[in-house]
Each structure stands twice: as structure tokens, then as C-alpha cells.
Chain A
Amino acid sequence: MRSWRITDAELRQWLQRLIDGAGTVIAPASDDGLLVYRPISSADEAVVEASGITRWSAKERLLPRTETLYAYTASGNEVTVASPPTEPSPQVLFGVPSCDAAGLLRLDDVLLSGIEDPFYAARRRATTVVSIACAEAAPECFCTAVGGSPAGVAGVDVRLAPLGEGWLVEPLTERGGELVAAAGVAGWQEATAEDRTKVVEMEHRVASSIGREPVPPEWAELLEAGFDHQVWERIGWYCLGCSVCASVCPSCSCFDMHHEADVFGGEELRTWDACTFALFTRHASGHNPRSTQAQRFRQRLLHKLAFRRSDEPVRCVGCGRCVALCPAGLDIHSEVVAAAAAIAEEVSNGTG
């Protein structure tokens, strides 16, 4: 596909045209000082930068924190049921880093495979992803350790990459091509091989600056083999049982269903849930198969980095948000390295 080299002004212009066209544009923007993804009404609101990351991922734009599955009102013997619209308006996720784009594919694995989730699927089909390649890695970043790249294209329809001055615009899918054609191109300068080389060099530079040890796929078996190893207790003891990690995670997709009603009507809702909460697995009898916080921590870590089919990537995309925000200072990457080392040592000593 063709690619372009555009100026900052052209980028803003394109973004403004996307906003003016049909649908919603979601971009990193300040919410009273906090950088989050939110719908923007003018291109100036968007923080389009090749470094820095929103406080949490864009997943709530596809899997809302809480959504109504159906609602009803009751009046006497009359019950009126309303279902939510299944045809959401088109949306563009603009300026997401590669890790967040990859996170959407992880959500797809869960919510589109097997029985499709109609609410998620409808939004997903209406979503186009414009990524920005990273020109800098934060201290918490570790995408390269889990098979990603600071300029990765998985899940991306159009990739933007900083060229120092201006941006390289590369449509990667048919839908991405349409997005560019619909609102840009006229007057844009064709990109050169040099521009593309520059981005490849940047990708290498940023990737090598991350310097976190890779989490190889073979560790999955090792970690599962060491399921009962005491290392989990030692590390997981510090988990405080909140859900900061799952809430900010681009690939955590667990939810709970609940019903809220009074005499006038009610709603069936689904709301984000997290395996780090004790209530996540507690049975009605009171029995909890994951009875300690350390077990719950182990569950999350293994689900992010081990439990998988052999042909699947791990679920963690290495955005580093949980590392930056864990109030207990737990670092999923350091902890998995420590756990793998402890388990491997026991295996090699023949005591496992």
C-alpha cells in the first residue's frame, strides 16, 4: 500500500476531518490533568505524541466498565423491555501505542472466538485503529519481552510513526486505506524508502532501550509445572487484592453480571471484574477455591503470561501500566522472572 510523509499541520488537519466526518474519534487527551482516551471534539484536544502513555488502556471503548444489557420498566402488570442498540456508530481509536493495539487482539481472542459477544463484536466492527509508533520507552515498558514491538502493527489499521519532523503514515489494512483516503491524501507527499528506514531504525533503538529479559513461550510449561511452588506465596504475599492491574490492563476482559432493580424497573448490567478480588471465585457456599491472596495473584500472573494454547501469544502485551500503578510495587515482569528462576532451580535440583 502507498504511504505518505506528512507535516504536523497536515496530521492535525486529517484528524480534524475525521472528527468532522461521521462517527467518534477517541484519542489521548487530558481529563483535568490526567491523560486518558476520550472522545475529542477538536484536533487540538488530542495529545498526539510518540511517547508517554494514557493512564489506562482504550479497552473501555469496546468493553465498557459497566454496560446495560437490557433494561425494563414495570408499571402495574405492564413490563416494557428495552434492549440496547446493537449498531454502534463508527469510532476511530487515534494515537494508540502498539501495545494497546495488540491488546485489542487479545480481547478479540476472548470475546469474538467461540460464541461471539454481540455487544463487543458490534463495537469492534465499527472501530478503526490508528497507532503511533513509540519514539521512547517508559521505564515500565516491556512489550519486547512478550513478543511485541514499540512499532508493532498487530491490530493496527493505520500506523503513524514520528520522523523527527513530520510523520510517516502507513495504511496497513483496507479499512485503514479507506480512513486515509476519506479524509487525507490530497496534497500529501509520498513517503520515501529513507523515511521507512528511519522508522525501522527507531524501532530497533527503542526496542533495545527496553532491556527487559524476554519471557519465552517455553516458560508457560515451566510456570504451570511449578504451580504449587512456594515462590508464589513469597511473591504473592504482597498483593493487596485491589484490581488496579486488571482495570488498567489492555487485555483483561473479565466481567461480572448483576441485576439492579426496584419496584419501578431494573437493569441487567455487566461490569468489569478482576481475578485479584476474593469475591471473583467465592462460591455461594462460602468456599473459595482461590482462598489466599497469593493464589489470586498467581492466577493473574499465569493468565497473563502462561495459560495459553501453544499457537497463541501470551495475553500480556507489556504496556507496563500495572507495573507503574501497582500500589504494592509488584512488577509482573520481574515477578515472573523470579518465579521462573525459582521453579527452574528446583527442577534442576531434582526436588520438584
Chain B
Amino acid sequence: VSTVNRAEVSAGAAAAAEGWQPQIVALVCNWCSYAGADMAGTTRLQYPPAVRMVRFPCTGRMHPLMVLKAFEGGADGVLVSGCHPGDCHYVHGNLVARRRFAIFRALMDFLGLDMRRLHFSWVSAAEGQKWARVVLEVTEAVRAAGPLPERGYSEHGADVDLPAAQDDGPPQVSDEALTALRSHLRRAAASALEDGRAMAVLGLGRSSRGRPHAPLVVTNAVDCQQLEWGVGWGGSPASYLAAAAREHGRVAVVARACELGGVIGLAREGQVARDRLVIIGVQCLGASDGDRLADRCARCSGAPDGSCDVVVTPAGAVAGTGSPGEAERRPGDPRDRQIAYLESLPHAQRWGFWQRQLARCLRCYACRAVCPLCYCSSCVAEKHRPQWVSTAIDSRGNTAWNVIRALHLAGRCSGCDECTRACPADIRLDLLNRKLTQEVEERYGQIGLSLEERSALVDFRMEDGEEFIR
């Protein structure tokens, strides 16, 4: 079925590829780089005319979506430029931007964008010479990279063969342990309701024929008998926590180890009050993904963290220690091998792999709906004044949506993989999340469970790495 689109209407423009000249969009801050470019002009320095500048108050105001928009609009390359650290007119806007763009760059690199297209620089108001040099270098890099490749489903990338995930069969569980956990969990939940620490308990239970246990909300002690525990993976109670807290005030939530980060994140970000929240951490016996152990379980012992209010193990339910422990991190997550493999491929092949994945996106927003930390009442995907993410369910909007979803979770994602489970198109969102977690932890330290911690991308240090900035 053929349809027209604007690209075809303006086919004439594309046909002029022979005489192709790179088109570069530069996002510059008003106080340094814009003034630096001005200096280059008044000094009568010559540099290639391929750059179109967009002036912002500060690099801190520049959003990755603006870079994506430039690429969507046909730019072959983008340059982001602002004040040197310490020179920011707004004290530390550029330091926050530095972290944001370090992570954004890592994501775009992972998605297969040729890194000769995306550049960052610090150019002060006095550095006219540097501005001219940066523009020259960037222009040559983009020229070497050539015209921007097409977005959308491509034959390129069809041959990407990810290393197989582990397949040791489903988690093995003793009935005895399961029965004990269930009974301790039910008692702990009932007691939270009875003594008024919670008006509702969010757990697992409800399921239709043959389906794994799905989230269940219970508001009286008797119904706590319906709470279940097992290896089935049919949803996360944490997905409902923000809504339940608004509705019931005091809520108890049953959490696996991988879901705790989402629960703590909601408290940390002011969506639920920690002192009106009872976290019941239950020993996880592993989650099954179809007929095998879920990937995320490979590196996790499943033991509830001490920061839970109630810790349920087969031995019983006890009060938590009140402080987060050092999570045990075991090696062997099969995604790490898959990520390393993808990173070993040339950019074009990686781009093809991800464009094939993203072409399947139906924009059902199930990834957003299940994510405990996607709680905004109005999502950027739905803003249309201006519209940053096209609502068209094709390459226009699909890349931008999936990029921005992953970025908004960078440094916050707890790796519960709910988004990946929920995706009807089997898009490997877990690889994107895991890659960003690796990147954040490598650069800015381990993402922990403390309430006081600030998410990496709203924080900064003067000494943060900037090896990618000219």
C-alpha cells in the first residue's frame, strides 16, 4: 500500500544528493558560544557556512529532544556548545547539561548514530578562534559521515544475531518455601491493615486462567488471603503505587528486590511520602519469563533489602534494619554480553538493528503505563505546543519516543524490566535501560536505595568527565 509523504513530495531536494553539502544545526548558549561566534565574525575569521545556529539562554535549557528534532528536520550533524565549566551565567546549568549530554551521547552511540554527527564544545565569548576551528572540524566530520541515513525499517541490521540469553529452564522453587513465604506475607499484610499503618495493600494475586499472578489491591485483612507469591511474572504492584497512595493515603506495597528501586524512587521524588508507606520486601525466588528464568534474575540474590519496613523470608517476617544495604551484584547478566556484542558492530548495522526494533513500536505506551517512575500526569509525548515527539506511529515519532523514554529513566531505572515485559512488540527496552544504567554507574557511581540520594542526571560534580567535549 503506497502513501505519499512529504519526503516524496520534496523528492527533488533529496535527488540533489550529488551536490550534497552537510547541514549542521548548532545549539549555542547566549552568553558564551553565541558571543564566541560573534567574536569570530567581528574578527573576520573564515569558517564553513554549513552551520545554522539556534540560540538558547543556557546549555542547561537544551533538551536532547531538541537535538533529535534537528536530526528529524534533516540535519546531518548537530553541535551543542556552551560556556566552560565555572563560566555559566546561571552558575551550574552547563554542569547539569554535561551529565545529560554524556548520557544522551552514549545512548545515541548505542542506537547506532554515527558519532561523527553529534558534537559538543565549550566555546567562551573570547574564543572566536576556537569557534571557527570547532565549526571547521565538525563540518569535516559530518562531511566524512555523509548524508543522514534514513530512519525506519531497514534490511540493514537483519543479520544482527544477539548472543543467546541463558536458558536453564524456569526457576526451581520448593513448595515448602513458597507456602511459608505466602503465609508470612499474608500475615504481614493483614497486620499492616489491622493496625492502621496502611489503608490498602498492593500485592500480587488476581489472575485469569493460566496467566501469572497480576497486581491485586486489598483493603481488608480477610482479603489478604488472596495475596499470592511465586515465580510467575504478570505485573508489578509498584506500577500502581503512585495512584494508590493518592487514593488511600497510607499504602503498603509488596516488592521484589528489583522493584524496590522504583518504590524508593517514588518516595525520593516526592510522589509518595515514605512515612505513609509500608514496604513489604519478600524474598524473591526468581521470576520466570515464559519457560525460563528472567534475565534480570541472573545478577540478583532476590533477598529483600534492609530498607524495607518488613522483610519476609521463609523463616518469617521481621522488621527491616531501616537502612539500605549494599545490594549484592552478581555477574552473569546475559544482557551485558548482548550489549557488548551490539557495541562491537559498526554503527550502520547497529542503527539498522534498532530501527527494525523501533519500527515495530505501536505507541501503545504500555512501557510508560507500567513503569513506576513514569508518573507525570502529562507526558512530553503528548505535548503539542510545541510538539517534540510526533504522534505518528512510524519512524518520525517512534525513535524520538523510545529515546526520550529511556533517557528519562537513566539514573532512575531500577531494572525491574516491567516495560520490556509489557511491550507487545518485544522491543528490547531492557537493553536500552541496562546500557544507560551501566553508563550512569560507570560515570557517576552506583545507583543506590538511599532516600537522600539524588538521581544522577539532576546532579553534578565539578570534576565530572567531559572527554567527549571539545
Contacts and interface: CB of A to CB of B under 8 A. Distances in A.
Interface of A: 24, 31-34, 36, 55-56, 61, 64-68, 71-73, 80, 82-85, 88-89, 91, 123, 139, 237-238, 240-244, 246-248, 256, 258, 260, 262, 264-267, 269, 271-272, 274, 277, 279, 323, 325, 327-331, 333-334
A180 B425 CA distance: 34
Interface string B377-396: 00000101001001111101
Contacts of B458: none
Contact of B4 (A82, A331, A333): A82
A65 B393 contact: yes
A271 B393 contact: yes
B366 A244 contact: yes
Contacts of A243: 362-366
A242 B369 contact: yes
A329 B364 contact: no
A333 B208 CA distance: 9
20 contacts: A64-B1, A64-B3, A73-B10, A89-B1, A240-B370, A242-B365, A243-B363, A243-B364, A247-B364, A258-B384, A264-B10, A265-B10, A271-B392, A271-B393, A327-B366, A327-B418, A329-B207, A329-B215, A331-B209, A334-B208
Contact of B1 (A61, A83, A241): A61
A231 to B, nearest CB: 14
Contact of B368 (A66, A67, A237, A242): A242
Interface in B219-246: 234-235, 239-240
Given A244-B364, A256-B391, A265-B9, 5 more contacts: A34-B360, A68-B3, A85-B3, A258-B391, A334-B208
Contact of B424 (A56, A80, A88, A277): A56
B5 A31 contact: no
A267 B209 CA distance: 45
B215 A328 contact: yes
B217 interface: yes
A73 B387 CA distance: 19
Contacts of A91: 1
Given A56-B424, A329-B214, A68 B5 contact: yes
Given A264-B10, A266-B6, A334-B208, A272 B366 contact: no
Given A240-B366, A240-B369, A327-B422, A262 B73 contact: yes
B424 A71 contact: no
Given A265-B10, A279-B382, A329-B235, A244 B393 contact: no
Interface in B414-434: 418, 421-422, 424-426
Contact of A241 (B207, B208, B369, B387): B369
A272 B393 contact: yes
Contacts of A256: 391
B42 interface: no
Given A65-B393, A65-B394, A247-B424, A328 B214 contact: yes
A265 B6 CA distance: 7
Contacts of B139: none
A265 B27 CA distance: 23
Chain B interface size, under 10 / 10 to 19 / 20 to 34 / 35 or more: 35 or more
Contacts of B158: 32
Contacts, number: 152
Contact of A82 (B9, B215, B365, B396): B9
A267 B390 CA distance: 12
Given A260-B387, A329-B234, A66 B393 contact: yes
A31 B119 CA distance: 34
B369 A327 contact: yes
B259 to A, nearest CB: 14
Contacts of B276: none
The 5 A-B residue pairs with the shortest CB-CB distance in the complex, in nearest-first order: A329-B214, A331-B208, A327-B422, A65-B393, A240-B369
A348 B4 CA distance: 58
B455 interface: no
Nearest to B384: A258
B152 to A, nearest CB: 12
Contacts of A55: 424-426
Nearest to B387: A260
Contact of B3 (A67, A265, A279): A67
Contacts of B239: 240, 328
Given A55-B424, A265-B6, A265-B10, A329 B393 contact: no
Nearest to A246: B364
B329 interface: no
Tell which of B6, B356, B390, B393 has the most Cβ of chain A within 10 Å: B6
Contacts of B10: 73, 264-265
A333 B211 CA distance: 13
B211 A271 contact: no
Nearest to A67: B3
B331 interface: no
A242 B3 contact: no
Interface string B346-367: 0000000000110010111110
With a 10 A CB-CB cut-off, give which of A66, A73, A246 has the most chain B CB atoms: A66
A71 B390 contact: no
A64 B3 CA distance: 10
Contacts of A73: 6, 9-10
Most buried by A among B10, B356, B368, B393: B393
Contacts of A123: 1
Nearest to B209: A139
B178 to A, nearest CB: 20
A27 to B, nearest CB: 15
Nearest to B216: A238
A21 B355 CA distance: 30
Contacts of A327: 235, 366, 369-370, 418, 421-422
A210 to B, nearest CB: 11
A88 B234 CA distance: 42
Nearest to B368: A242
B209 A34 contact: no
Interface string B3-41: 111101110000000000000000000000000000000
Contact of B217 (A237, A248, A265): A237
Contacts of B384: 258
A83 B362 CA distance: 25
A248 B424 contact: yes
B121 to A, nearest CB: 27
B211 A329 contact: yes
B454 interface: no
Contacts of A331: 208-209, 211
A112 to B, nearest CB: 17
B206 interface: yes
Nearest to A24: B1
Contacts of B344: none
Contacts of A33: 426
Nearest to A126: B1
B270 interface: no
Given A73-B6, A85-B2, A243-B364, A260 B390 contact: yes
A247 B362 CA distance: 7
B214 A238 contact: yes
Contacts of A247: 362-364, 424
Contacts of B360: 31, 34, 36
Query: Which among B9, B158, B387, B421 has the highest number of chain A CB atoms within 10 Å?
Result: B9
